[in-house]
């Protein structure tokens, strides 16, 4: 036997054993250079404590966990939609000032965004089940507090706690689906779970409206959420396998987490998202005020430091370099080499922009139908079904198609074309446009977004090595949530700024202008809540036309961003998803194993 062969035998552990030990005859034969007479004798030791493998769970356990992921998507989207339409009633009942009503609307979304990285990164050390259940506990505590008779300040705090819990639930459910499935299968599972989320978006406002019609308290919404979250907690406690590692091993891995990277991300995210959400709400927080500009500056500095830290200093980065650095191959030479190197970044950008555009355009359509077309809240919901139903249907069908054929690039092209065309047509929607035409445009927009969103989700998976899919999908969920948080506030800020500019430049009756100036309009919420007053002050429709014109600025911005992002996505190099069975399931501990081997070699 050669020396290399002998070394291979000494180094290769047998399955079920921690190490191999050689017999005396084997060691002596190596020493004198003769052929060893005996194979190494494996000495059994206690099997190492390992993380649970979700890919090897029984079939019905996987189905049960998948149902929990779907129910959780429904719950979290139901929460966002139901509370959003209830905020005016909460502010009225609690006699809350405009600033606190706005804080109530944004606190949940901000907390949900900035804590996702903590849950996804730390879950590798503490275990997926522990972090999932921790998120549920936070959510249940927040819902319990909000369901009682509390002051507006306590309610805002409860929404922050709920947002922290929602961040863990969002990230853990995404990772769970990835680790249970293979690439093509997970495209279908993700699509179905997202369809449940869209169903929650539909049921949220309808349930809130029904409760208001029955004269139930707004606290009833949080009671419903508490019941669903408690059901989830009970089921997941039984189905999710526990991590068998000891406390010392978990704490040892916890020390190796990228705490500096998480701190820099948290600081940067808060410093950027807070001014985006509160900018322009009061005179002291105007867009050009010192606090807002200083917050933006500190956020940019934090993210610059984060990028440098992740690329050069972090031993185990919170955003692994392998997620962004893979150079995809598709079998043909791309004419633009730059799109090959930045293809993973384009995929993540597409997911961020998708979340941003979806909510900014959706809320602008609510203003259009209710403020410009004078529809009641219930009729607005019925009209917007053309978008809210089309979006999840297109999402599910696209996911099923990608699972069958694996063609991600075709879905990207179709989704980019439909969404850009729908947003462009919205620019030409005058207040007098026939309603069927407007519904067709909304239908096209919903279909385009519904095709583009799952295409970009699967593009992230196609452009990432399977070992890093858990990190990739967690990063995608984080960026998509951040996009939604930015989209609502940015869209409303553009709308308010455009209306003020049009109003100041228009030749309006001085007496009418004086009355309107007395009304204030310091924040987007002020303007949105008083659109009906504008109609009464100007029966000829002049002011309402300004509102419609201001909305076109939002749609123009969305159209430009969608077109640019769609063009980059079409030109990026994206391979097809491999058939199931040819790609190993995601193993969240492989990167840590490699890290341990590297440290041992040093």
Write the pLDDT tens digit of every residue in 319-368. 888 787 766 655 556 566 666 677 888 889 998 998 888 878 877 887 78
CB 253 within 8 A of CB 592: yes
Question: Global pTM?
Answer: 0.78
Mean pLDDT by 10 residues, the chain (602 residues): 44 33 39 44 45 80 92 90 78 75 80 89 87 94 89 90 92 88 78 80 78 81 92 93 82 87 91 79 74 89 92 86 69 62 84 85 80 73 78 85 85 90 84 84 88 88 81 86 83 80 70 62 57 63 77 90 89 78 52 43 42
**Residues 184, 188, 189, 193: is their CA dihedral positive or negative?**
positive
The fold of 56-246 is: Growth Hormone; Chain: A; (1.20.1250)
Burial group, residue 239, by CB count within 10 angstroms (0-12, 13-18, 19+)? middle
Q: Which CATH class is domain 334-578+588-602?
A: mainly alpha
What is the distance in angstroms between the CA of the first residue and the CA of the last residue of the chain? Answer: 30
**H or E segment to which residue 536 belongs:** helix 531-537
**pLDDT tens digits, 158-189:** 999 999 999 999 889 888 888 888 877 877 78
Across the chain, which distance is largest between two alpha carbons, in Å?
108
DSSP annotation of 56 = G
Q: Which residues of 310-344 are buried (b: 16+ CB within 10 A; e: fewer)?
A: beeebebbbbbeebbebebeeeeebeeeebbeebb
Q: What is the DSSP string of 466-513?
A: GGGHHHHHHHHHHHHHHHHHHHHHHHHHHHHHHHHHHHHHS---HHHH
């Amino acid at each position: 036997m050669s020396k290399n062969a002998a070394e291979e035998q000494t180094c290769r552990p047998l399955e079920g054993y921690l190490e191999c030990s050689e017999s005396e005859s084997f060691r002596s034969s190596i020493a004198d250079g003769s052929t060893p007479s005996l194979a190494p004798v494996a000495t059994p030791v206690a099997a190492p404590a390992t993380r649970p493998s979700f890919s090897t769970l029984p079939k019905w356990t996987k189905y049960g966990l998948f149902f929990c992921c779907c129910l959780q998507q429904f719950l979290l989207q139901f929460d966002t939609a139901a509370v959003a339409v209830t905020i005016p009633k909460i502010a009225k009942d609690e006699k809350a000032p405009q600033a606190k009503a706005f804080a109530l609307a944004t606190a949940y979304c901000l907390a949900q965004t900035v804590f996702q990285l903590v849950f996804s990164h730390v879950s590798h050390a503490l275990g997926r089940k522990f972090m999932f259940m921790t998120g549920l506990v936070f959510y249940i505590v927040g819902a319990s507090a909000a369901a009682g008779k509390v002051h507006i300040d306590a309610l805002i705090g409860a929404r922050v706690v709920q947002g922290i819990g929602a961040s863990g639930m969002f990230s853990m459910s995404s990772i769970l689906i990835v680790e249970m499935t293979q690439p093509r299968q997970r495209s279908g599972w993700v699509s179905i779970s997202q369809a449940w989320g869209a169903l929650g978006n539909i049921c949220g406002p309808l349930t809130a409206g029904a409760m208001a019609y029955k004269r139930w308290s707004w606290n009833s919404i949080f009671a419903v959420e508490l019941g669903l979250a408690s059901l989830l907690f009970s089921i997941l406690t039984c189905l999710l396998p526990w991590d068998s590692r000891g406390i010392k091993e978990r704490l040892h891995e916890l020390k190796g987490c990228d705490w500096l990277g998480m701190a820099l991300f948290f600081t940067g995210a808060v410093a950027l998202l807070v001014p985006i959400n509160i900018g322009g709400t009061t005179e002291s927080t105007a867009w050009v005020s010192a606090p807002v500009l200083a917050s933006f500056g500190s956020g940019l500095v934090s993210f610059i430091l984060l990028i440098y830290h992740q690329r050069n200093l972090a031993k185990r980065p919170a955003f692994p370099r392998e997620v962004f650095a893979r150079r995809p191959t598709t079998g043909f030479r791309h004419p633009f080499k730059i799109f090959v190197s930045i293809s993973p970044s384009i995929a993540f950008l597409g997911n961020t922009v998708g979340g941003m555009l979806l909510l900014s355009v959706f809320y602008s359509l609510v203003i259009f139908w209710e403020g410009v077309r004078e529809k009641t809240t219930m009729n607005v919901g019925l009209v917007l079904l053309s978008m809210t139903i089309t979006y999840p249907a297109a999402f599910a069908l696209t996911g099923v198609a990608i699972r069958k054929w694996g063609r991600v690039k075709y879905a990207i092209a179709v989704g980019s074309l439909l969404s850009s065309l729908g947003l462009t047509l919205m620019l030409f929607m005058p207040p007098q446009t026939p309603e069927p035409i407007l519904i067709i445009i909304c239908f096209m927009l919903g279909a385009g977004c519904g095709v583009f969103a799952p295409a970009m989700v699967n593009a992230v998976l196609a452009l990432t090595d399977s070992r890093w899919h858990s990190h990739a999908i967690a990063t995608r969920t984080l960026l998509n949530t951040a996009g939604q948080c930015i989209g609502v506030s940015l869209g409303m800020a553009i709308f308010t700024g455009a209306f003020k500019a049009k109003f100041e430049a228009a030749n309006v009756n001085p007496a009418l202008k004086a009355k309107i100036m007395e009304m204030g309009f310091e924040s987007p919420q002020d303007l949105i809540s008083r659109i009906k007053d504008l109609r009464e002050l100007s029966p000829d429709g002049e002011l309402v036309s300004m509102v419609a014109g201001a909305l076109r600025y939002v749609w123009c911005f969305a159209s430009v961003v969608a077109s640019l992002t769609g063009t980059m996505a079409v030109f990026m190099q994206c391979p097809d998803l491999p058939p199931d069975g040819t790609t190993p399931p995601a193993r969240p501990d492989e990167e840590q194993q490699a890290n341990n081997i590297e440290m041992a070699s040093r």
